[in-house]
Amino acid sequence: MIVRSRAPLRLSFCGGGTDVPPYPEERGGVVLSTTINKYAFASLVPQAGADLKVTSLDYDTIAKYHLEDGLVYDGELDLVKAAVHRLNPERQGLDLFIHTDAPPGSGLGSSSAMAVALVGAFQRWRRLPVMAYDVAELAYRIERVDLGIKGGMQDQYAATFGGFNFIEFRGDDVIVNPLRIEPSLLDELEYRLLLCYTGKTRLSAHILDRQINAYVGKHGEVVRALDAMKDLAIQMKNALLLGRLDAFGELLDVAWGHKKKLDAQISNDQIDELYELARKNGALGGKILGAGGGGYLLLYCQFDRKHKVAEALERIGGQVVDFGFDLRGLQTWEVNGR
């Protein structure tokens, strides 16, 4: 038996940063996001004995461990090790195969999606009676608590639930509000959005460290920017529900201006050049995804100028990527044979 799982990557439209502690505990955070048809995949094959073999299909590498010896977090496949430690207490032998459609540091929440995919695979294998909120919470604890990886709470919930969600963070409580948007509006929004890879990934931990320290130190500009992004997330949610897509695109531009105030390295000369070129050629708004510094640039375009925006970005090194929305979230299944 082989257990497979996939968890979608996400586009965070607004509110990212308000889900990063201690902001949500003190002021309450909100994030507006959706998931796309780019995924993190995990395949689990139970084996006799107590050996763990992990194959990363992205990097064409294989690592082997003996579970009786314990698993050391040393920077090599730590996410997998933490999932195995939490969800395989009997230390049964396993073969695990993992891969993602986007690299870590791309701003699409790929690491958290992988954590969700791993939890989903173990849930299916062990028949764990857990709900979607439990899956997301487990993935969050594996990533943020067990491994101490800096970041917020939105990615694990987005990958688990899938679709368009307005997610509220109130202290320790997370509430996922699915948005009921007309299918024709979703088609139009998908048609208008453009996703461009900057060609560079980034390590978000340093940016987040500075952002957290600035908030804890009550740096006025950072606190005001986070508060403004929370308010804008609500406005953008309302614009989507009311079908005001151009207003949604223009609010993306306003939100990007506030996001850049969280840390000086969220943007850089390359990102600024790409964004300004996109705006000149017909983008109404956009933002860099994730913590910033690299990864993917999301843009909302005038429908008859989107091709011009894409051509302009590709002329200076941007890589336009096709995508569609995923409305299903985490999926798991079983197969016989490989």
Domain ranges of the chain: 2-180+326-335, 183-324
Q: What is the pLDDT of residue 294?
A: 86
* Cα(117)–Cα(111) distance, integer angstroms: 10
Q: What is the pLDDT of residue 36?
A: 98
Asked whether the beta carbons of 167 and 19 are under 8 A apart, the reply is: yes
155 is catalytic: yes
Classify domain 183-324 by CATH architecture.
2-Layer Sandwich (3.30)
Asked whether the beta carbons of 43 and 83 are under 8 A apart, the reply is: no
Q: What is the pLDDT of residue 199?
A: 84
Instruction: Return the bridge partners of 46, or none.
Output: 94
Catalytic residue among 19, 101, 146, 155: 155
Q: Which of 84, 79, 86 is nearest to 56 (CA)?
A: 79
Q: Which class in CATH covers the domain with range 2-180+326-335?
A: alpha beta
Q: What is the pLDDT of residue 104?
A: 79
Q: What is the pLDDT of residue 105?
A: 80
DSSP helix, strand, coil percent of the chain (3-state; round to 5):
40, 25, 30
CB burial of residue 141 (10 Å; 0-12, 13-18, 19+):
middle
Per-residue pLDDT of the chain (338 residues; tens, 9 = 90+): 999 999 999 999 999 999 999 999 999 999 999 999 999 999 999 999 999 999 999 888 999 999 999 999 999 999 999 999 999 999 999 999 999 999 878 899 999 999 999 999 999 999 988 899 999 999 999 999 999 998 899 999 999 999 999 999 998 899 999 999 999 999 999 999 999 999 877 656 578 888 888 888 878 899 999 999 999 999 999 999 999 999 999 999 999 999 999 988 899 999 999 999 999 999 999 999 988 888 999 999 999 999 999 999 999 999 999 999 999 999 999 998 65
Q: What is the pLDDT of residue 69?
A: 92
* Cα(272)–Cα(129) distance, integer angstroms: 47
Q: What is the pLDDT of residue 205?
A: 59
Output the pTM of the full model: 0.95
Q: Which of 61, 91, 97 is nearest to 76 (CA)?
A: 61
* Cα(337)–Cα(305) distance, integer angstroms: 48
* Cα(43)–Cα(28) distance, integer angstroms: 36
Q: What is the pLDDT of residue 140?
A: 97
